[in-house]
Structure 1
Amino acid sequence: MQASSAIRGHAAGVPFVALPPAAEPLDGPAPLVVTWHLMDPPRSEEAMAAALPMSGLGAWRVYFGLPMHGGRAPEGGPEEFCRLAGEDYVLNVAEPVTEQAATEFPGAVADLRRQLSLPDSPVGVAGGSAGATVALEVLARAEVPIGAAALVSPVTQLGPAVGANERQFGVTYRWSERSRAVADRYDFVRRAGELCAPVLLVVGEHDDEAFREPAAALSEALGDAGRLVTVPGMAHALADEPGIEAAPQTGHAAMVDTEFTAWFQQHLR
């Protein structure tokens, strides 16, 4: 990311970092790609823009901050976020973050178009991990026309991702009827028929099976509209800790960046 060219602001209350088109659009005005960050590094819009700048893409690349992160963190900061996640990750974190981010998306895109003088054309959406869940939910809702989606280390099924958290943190999540309903809602293998745009899924060779296997299942369910790429040696995160500030792009992030750029070049006009 070239810090001098980045635009920082808010679109309908959503914090963003915007990178102007770095190359001439193939045809007509430059389209828009909106990306949501991970809850692991990179865990902010600034850090995500540095990790996946898609610098060769003739499009506006805009990185949204997730709810409950950065300037929208709960009162009490990271400690309160961790407390809420430990109390009930599905109901206190996964559901409200995804629901708010997807709900605010149409208004934020409309405001971005006004602020940046963008065309009213199909949008590309991208995301990592929990941010990928937001991208999938936005794609399924189809409130804004979506031309293509690109996901990395994606949470395509919330249930298995909760299992990965259990293994990572040595805890047991207590499922309830309500939280199982939320997990069912954020099961995009089951909802593959609602995803009406090409979807790229990039996973790390060393990521947990809870992310790799559902991504493969979604790619298979999408048929010709899905593509699965495995990055050798990559785990789940795309940046080093703490992953809040912009940092030099890692080798694995560069590989993901290349895949994302080529995907949107192919599918987004």
Structure 2
Amino acid sequence: MHSPITGTAAGVPFTALPPAGDAPAPLIVTWHMLDAPRSDAAFAAALPMPGLPAWRVHLGMPMCGARMVDGSMDAGLALVREDVLMSFLHAFVQQATEEFPAALASIREQLPVGDGPIGVLGGSLGGAVALRVLAETETPIFAGAVVNAAIRMRSVVDLFPGDYPYDAESEKAVDSLDFIAKAGLLAGRAPLLVVSGEEDHPALRADAFDLVDAIGDDAELLSIPGLAHPLAEEPGIEPAPQLPTARAVDAGLTAWFRRQLAG
């Protein structure tokens, strides 16, 4: 396997895994979890998708990895305490989505990737970014995949302690990240694989089933026995050996994207 390539794309840190050979190849862009693995480098180690005839470029989420404040996640945790939805969940998805077009253009300038449609992949909160790119942008995409994804943001907010004090602004924000409600925008956009751990939070697992049902023929569900929400052990910032459950996810993703690339 080639060594990872690290860099920044329009200010967004990335870890890139090249395909075999030197010719330009298709591109798959990913966004990591905020649970472990919670950096682009750690996500690349957890889900390297080896052997794919494509570049896998793992983008860093806001305030994670190389963008951590003072080398820790403390600043991000402070945002959770400030307002878990508006300062943290919605804000991170919004920023990651908004910085994607410039990051993609920079990646195309730096790496020998083809100029055709891309693949997108997201884990947990990064899954909401991938789904938003699918639902709300015109970026040509050949296939998408999400793993234990934040499919309906209300379900994610409910995982945090206490009753969230919704108002008109936060109701609008949380509804904007309900991708079951946006299934009509996802259907026909690109084939989508929805990976769900059998031990994931019950509400997130239910959302995965509901999304596949709502999209219909363009979506497939892959259920992973023994997989809880994280894909790596704590602290999940540095690359770590691949867990058996992550290996099962990796194999499923590799087969999925290989099939879509061949098609």
Q: TM bucket by the smaller chain?
A: over 0.9
* Aligned 1:183-222 pairs, distance under 5 A: 183-195=174-186, 196-222=189-215
In the other structure, the counterpart of 1:227 is 220
Paired residues, number: 260
Contact 1:31 1:123 in 2 (8 A): yes
Q: TM-score, normalised by structure 1?
A: 0.92
Runs of 5+ consecutive residues of structure 2 not aligned to the other structure? none
CA distance in 2, matches of 1:219, 1:189: 9
Letter in 1 for 2:85: V
Q: 2: CA distance between counterparts of 1:127 and 1:216?
A: 17
1:128 and 2:107 are equivalent in the alignment: no
Which stretches of structure 1, 4 residues or more, deviate above 4 A after TM superposition? Answer: 74-77
Distance 1:191 1:258 in 2: 28
Match of 2:136 in 1: 141
CA distance in 1, matches of 2:88, 2:133: 18
Distance 1:76 1:36 in 2: 20
Question: What corresponds to 2:85 in structure 1?
Answer: 90
Deviation at 1:71, TM superposition (A): 2.8
| Corresponding position of 1:78 | 73
Shift of 1:77: 4.5
Q: Which runs of 5+ in 1 are unaligned?
A: none
Query: What letter corresponds to residue 207 of structure 2 in structure 1?
Result: P
Question: How far apart are the structure 2 equivalents of 1:71 and 1:8?
Answer: 11
The CA distance in 1 between the partners of 2:66 and 2:42, in whole Å, is 14
Which amino acid in 2 is paired with 1:99? Q
Say if 1:90 and 1:179, in contact at 8 Å, map to a contact too.
yes
Contact 1:106 1:143 in 2 (8 A): no
Question: Retained in 2: the 8 A contact 1:36–1:45?
Answer: yes
Shift of 1:263: 0.9
Is 1:155 aligned to 2:155, yes or no? no
3-state SS in 1 of match to 2:221 = strand
Letter of the structure 1 residue corresponding to residue 173 of structure 2: V
Q: List per-residue Cα deviations over 1:53-74 (Å, max 9, x = no partner).
A: 0002110000000012123235
**Identity among equivalent pairs (%):** 48
